[in-house]
């Protein structure tokens, strides 16, 4: 016989549903602000004449000597935008949220913020292998939390009824390129910042393979 307490946990009262709908709007606003601030922080990391004490005549030299830093920040900007988009894939398909899902979303944003902190360390410490690994690990965890958030929302029936079961399964694949690529880049940290930064291009074949899988899933469903 089902535990009455368990039945109470799984049933959503009208008050719980209404609170979850309001909470969804709040958490999406908070996350949008957080990701916008992260992008702003990336620009603040860039060398500036008033902070780094270089003149206009030294600009070319600074750009030439610090090219890897600009490359790291460019990759960081792209990855933060990708995780922002991942966040919208998840929450854009929800009808409401709850406390647990909100915590998972905040934790994901925290690990992306942690990645931003490691970018700063990377620039200051000249591409230490440990820092590069920590960048990859923080993004891998953030990506894993995104997949977990979608799985949790699916299990708790927080996803819109307009989303088919096939679309739900395909969304898992949409969320996987970032964490998979993050894990794949970890061993490349041993070869230095240039190779490690270039290893993020692995996201292209990873995304292509997962996209082909989604297409096959769609074709199989039509059959």
Q: What is the pLDDT of residues 165-213, one digit of tens each?
A: 888 888 999 999 999 999 999 999 999 888 998 999 999 999 999 988 8
**pLDDT for 217:** 78
Tens digits of residue pLDDT in 26-68: 888 999 999 999 888 887 776 665 545 555 666 666 666 666 6
Cα–Cα dist 142/51, whole Å: 32
Distance CA 25, CA 113 (A): 21
Which residues are CB-neighbours of 197 under 8 A, at least 6 positions away?
A: 68, 71, 72, 75
Which residue would you say has higher pLDDT here, 8 or 115? 115
H helices, E strands: number in the chain: 11, 0
156 has a pLDDT exceeding 60: yes
pLDDT for 164 beyond 80: yes
Q: What mean pLDDT comes out for the span 3-18?
A: 57
Show Cβ contacts of residue 144 under 8 Å, excluding neighbours closer than 6 positions.
179
User: What are the C-alpha distances in Å from 222 to residues 146, 170, 174, 215?
Assistant: 28, 14, 20, 11
pLDDT value for 1:
46
Q: What is the pLDDT of residue 8?
A: 38
- Partnered with residue 94 across adjacent β-strands are 159
Q: The tokens 């819109």 sit on which residue?
A: 160
> Looking at 52-56, 139-143, 161-165, which range is the least confident one?
52-56
Q: Tell me, what's the pLDDT at 4?
A: 44
pLDDT tens per residue, range 103-139: 999 999 999 999 999 988 887 887 789 999 999 999 9
For residue 94, which phi and psi values (nearest 5 degrees)?
A: -95, 155
pLDDT of 74: 83
CA distance 13 to 126: 55
């Amino acid at each position: 016989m089902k535990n009455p307490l368990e039945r109470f946990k799984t049933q959503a009262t009208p008050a719980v549903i209404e609170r979850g709908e309001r909470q969804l709007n709040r958490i999406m606003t908070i996350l949008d602000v957080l990701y916008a601030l992260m992008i702003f922080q990336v620009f603040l990391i860039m060398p500036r004449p008033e902070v780094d004490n270089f003149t206009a005549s030294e600009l070319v030299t600074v750009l030439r000597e610090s090219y890897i830093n600009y490359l790291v920040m460019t990759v960081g900007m792209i990855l933060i935008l990708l995780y922002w988009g991942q966040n919208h894939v998840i929450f854009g398909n929800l009808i409401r949220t709850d406390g647990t899902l909100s915590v998972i979303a905040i934790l994901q944003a925290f690990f992306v913020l942690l990645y931003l902190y490691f970018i700063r360390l990377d620039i200051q410490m000249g591409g230490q292998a440990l820092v590069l690994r920590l960048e990859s690990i923080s993004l891998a965890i953030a990506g894993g939390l995104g997949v977990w958030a979608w799985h949790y929302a699916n299990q708790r029936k927080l996803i819109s009824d307009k989303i088919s079961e096939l679309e739900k399964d395909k969304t898992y694949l949409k969320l996987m390129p970032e964490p998979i690529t993050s894990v794949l880049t970890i061993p490349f940290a041993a070869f230095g910042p240039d190779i490690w930064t270039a290893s993020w291009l692995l996201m292209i074949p990873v995304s292509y393979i997962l996209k082909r899988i989604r297409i096959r899933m769609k074709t199989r469903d039509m059959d």
